[in-house]
Chain A
Amino acid sequence: MALEGLKNIVLTYVTKEYLEDDSEPITYDTPLISGGIVDSFSMVSLKRFLENKYAIQIPDDRATPEAFDSVNKIATLVEEFVAKKG
C-alpha cells in the first residue's frame, strides 16, 4: 500500500469530518487527540471509517489515543493491519 496515498486519504477525511471551515489546516503531524481536534468519543467514528475503508479490524486495545494522535501514526497503524490481512 502506498503510504503517502493512505496519509492523504486520512488527512482529507479528518479535515472534512472534524474541522470547522475556519480551522487551521492540519498536517500529517498535527496532534489530533492531544490537540483536542478528535476527542475520545469521536475516535470511534474515525476507527469505523478506517475499518470500512481498508476492510480491516483494529482491536480496541490498539485503538488508543496515542495510536490515533496524528495522521502519521494512524497511517502506520492501518498499514500494519492491512499487511496482516495479506
Chain B
Amino acid sequence: MSNIGSYDERLRNFSWRIAEKELGYRPGDPVNIGWYCTDRICLMGKADKVALYWEGFTGAEKTYTYNDIRLATNTIGSFLRGLGLQPGERVCLFMDRIPELYLGFLGILKMGGIAQPLFSAFGDESLFVRLSNAETSAVITQKKHASKVRKILDRLPHLRHIIIVDHDGAAPLRNREAAFSLATAAPVETFDVHPTKAESPSVLHYTSGTTGMPKGVQHVHYSLISQYLTAKWVLDLRDGDIYWCTADPGWVTGTSYGIIAPFALGVTQCVLDAGFSAEAWYKWIAKRRVTMWYSAPTAIRSLMKAGDEIVKKYDLSSLRHLASVGEPLNSEAVVWSEKVFGKPFYDTYWQTETGCIVISNYPGMDVRPGSMGKPFPGITGTVLDPVKNEPYPTYGKIGLVALKFDWPSRMRTYWNNEDAFRKKFRGGWYITGDRSKLDKDGYFWFAGRDDDIINTAGHLVSPFEVESALLEHPAVAESAVVSKPDPINLEVVKAFVTLKAGFTASQGLDLDIMNFIRKKLSPLAMPQEIEFVPSLPKTRSGKIMRRILHAKEWGEEIGDTSTLEND
C-alpha cells in the first residue's frame, strides 16, 4: 500500500495540517529547515541511521549518519557565524556534488542565512549576474571553481568571503578568501540554530525568463511542509528506502527533493558525483540497492539510447518506485521503463517558483503515458482561457496551466523584482508559463511553453540572455536564439547570427562563438548549432521575429507574416 493510499480520498480529507502534525509543527512555532533535516531526526532516535552515502567519480566514498550531518551542519553554521555572517545574508554554494554542497546548504539555513545554490558549470558572467543581483555576502566553493569567482570579484563589492573547502596550501589564499575543511574542523556539538519563522527567507534559486536577466526565486522555511508531504505521497518515500535523486542541488529539484524533503523524512539517500554513463548509473543502483529513483527525461532518454542489454547486466530488483521531473516525460519513455525496469517512471510537474511538485502521477493511480497527471491534494490547478483569464468550462482545450497560489512552498517573490512577480498572475491565478489541456478525467496534457523560454534537458535557458552574450562576441552583429528539437534533450539552443563587417562565416568561427558562450554563460546555454545568416527576420519596427525561426526549426506553420519587414 502506498503512502498516499487513495488519491480521491486524500482529496476529500486534505489539509496541510497533516504535514504540520507529522513534523510536530504548530503555526507560530520557529521553523528552521536545517534543524528539521538533522537535529529533529536524531531526537527521533535515528542518530545512527545512514543519512547519506556519497561516492565521487574516482571511487572515493563517504558515509554520513544523521548525527554526522547534524554535527557537520553545526560546524559549518558556526564557521559562517564566526566570519560575521548574519541571518538573512545570502550565502552562495558553488560546488560540484560533493558532501560540502549538501551539508553547507543545511549549515547556511541553520545560522539563518539564505542559501543560494548555483550550478558549478556556470561561467563567470552567469555567476556575476546572480551574485550581484542577490548582493551575495559569501560563496562556498572549491579551488577548481574559485578562479571564476576571482575574475568577477572587483565587480562584487558585497561579496566579503570566498570560502574554499578543499584548499591544500599549494597556493596562498587570496583577497577575501578563507579556507574551511569539514574533515579537520573541530565538530560543533551544540549550536544555537537561528529561530527562523515560517515566512523567513530560506533559499534563493535563480531561474531564467524569456526577457530580462535571470530572476531570484525566493522561498521560505515553511516550504518544508509541502516539500515533505509531496515527497512522502508522490515519491512514496519510506523509512527503509534508499533514495537516489539525480538532480544537482544547483537546481530546485536538487534542493527540494535532493536535500530538504528526504532528510526531513529521515530517509537514507545516495549521491553519485560523476558525469552521466548508463553503466555507471545501473552499477550505482545495484550497489546501493536503490529503492526510489527520481530522475529526468533527458537522462531516461539517454538510458534508452544506451540500449536494453546493459540493463540486464545489473541486478536492479531493488527498485520499487520511479519518478521523473524537469520536462514532459514522453510516453515512449514510460512504456520503455515498464518494459526494462518492470515499472513506469511517474511524471511529476512543478517549477522553481512552485517549490514542490504541484501536478503529478501518483502511486496506485492509473498512469497515462505522456500525461502530467493531476494536481496534488490541496493544490487547485486548471487550464485557463488566455483571453478571458478564466478556467475553460469544458475539457480538451489548450490553455495556460494555472494554479491557485496558496500552497506552503510557493515562492514569495522574485528577489528585488516585485514587478516581475506581479506579472505572474492573471484573474487571481498564478500562471506557470506552460500550456496544456485537461482530459475528461482531469489529467493534464502538456502542450508547450507559452513563451520563448528554452527547456533543454529540463533546465530553462533564456534566449535573451544568450543573445545578449552573443552580442559581446567581436564577430557578432545581431543574433536570434531559438530552440531546436533534440531526441535526447527535448530541445537545444540554436543561434542565428549575422556577422560584423570583416568577419566571414566559417567552421572555426562557429566553434569560437560556441566556446565563448559556454565559458561565459554555461554549457546548457551554449548553442548546439550556429547558423550564419545574411539577415534576421524582423517586423517593420525592427523587432526580431523569433517565432518564424522557431517555426522553421520545428516544421510548424510560420503563421502571420503581414508585419514582416520586406527584404
Contact = CB atoms under 8 A, between A and B. Distances in A.
Q: Do A and B truly interact?
A: yes
Nearest to B274: A34
Interface stretch (B206-214, B422-430, B506-514, B553-561): B506-514
Interface in B78-105: 96
B57 A34 contact: yes
Interface in B95-145: 96, 121, 143-145
Interface in A5-40: 17, 20-24, 31, 33-40
Contacts of A17: 515, 519
Contacts, number: 77
Interface size of B as a range: 20 to 34
Contacts of B274: 34-36
Given A45-B518, A48-B507, A20 B148 contact: yes
Interface string B493-525: 000000000000001101100110011000110
Contacts of A36: 57, 96, 273-275
Interface in A41-79: 41-42, 44-45, 48-49, 51-52, 65-66, 69
A39 B523 contact: yes
B512 to A, nearest CB: 10
B526 A44 contact: yes
B146 interface: yes
A66 to B, nearest CB: 7
Interface string B144-156: 1111100000000
A85 B277 CA distance: 30
Contacts of A37: 275
A42 B507 contact: no
A42 B147 contact: no
A67 to B, nearest CB: 12
B277 A33 contact: yes
Contacts of A34: 57, 274-277, 280
Nearest to B493: A41
Contacts of B144: 20, 22-24
B524 A48 contact: no
B462 to A, nearest CB: 16
Contact of A45 (B275, B279, B492, B515): B515
A52 B530 CA distance: 15
Contacts of B43: none
Contacts of A21: 147
Contacts of B302: 40
A42 B280 contact: no
Nearest to B280: A34
Contacts of A48: 507, 510-511, 514
Nearest to B164: A22
B418 to A, nearest CB: 34
Sorted nearest first, the 8 A-B pairs with minimum C-beta distance are: A41-B523, A42-B523, A33-B275, A35-B57, A52-B507, A20-B147, A21-B147, A45-B514
Given A34-B276, A41-B492, A45-B515, 14 more contacts: A17-B515, A21-B147, A23-B144, A33-B275, A34-B57, A34-B277, A35-B57, A39-B275, A41-B456, A41-B523, A42-B523, A45-B514, A45-B518, A48-B510
Interface of B: 57-58, 96, 121, 143-148, 171, 273-277, 279-280, 302, 456-457, 492, 507-508, 510-511, 514-515, 518-519, 523-524, 526, 528
17 contacts: A20-B148, A21-B147, A22-B147, A24-B144, A33-B275, A33-B276, A34-B57, A34-B275, A35-B58, A35-B274, A35-B275, A36-B273, A36-B274, A39-B523, A40-B275, A49-B511, A66-B277
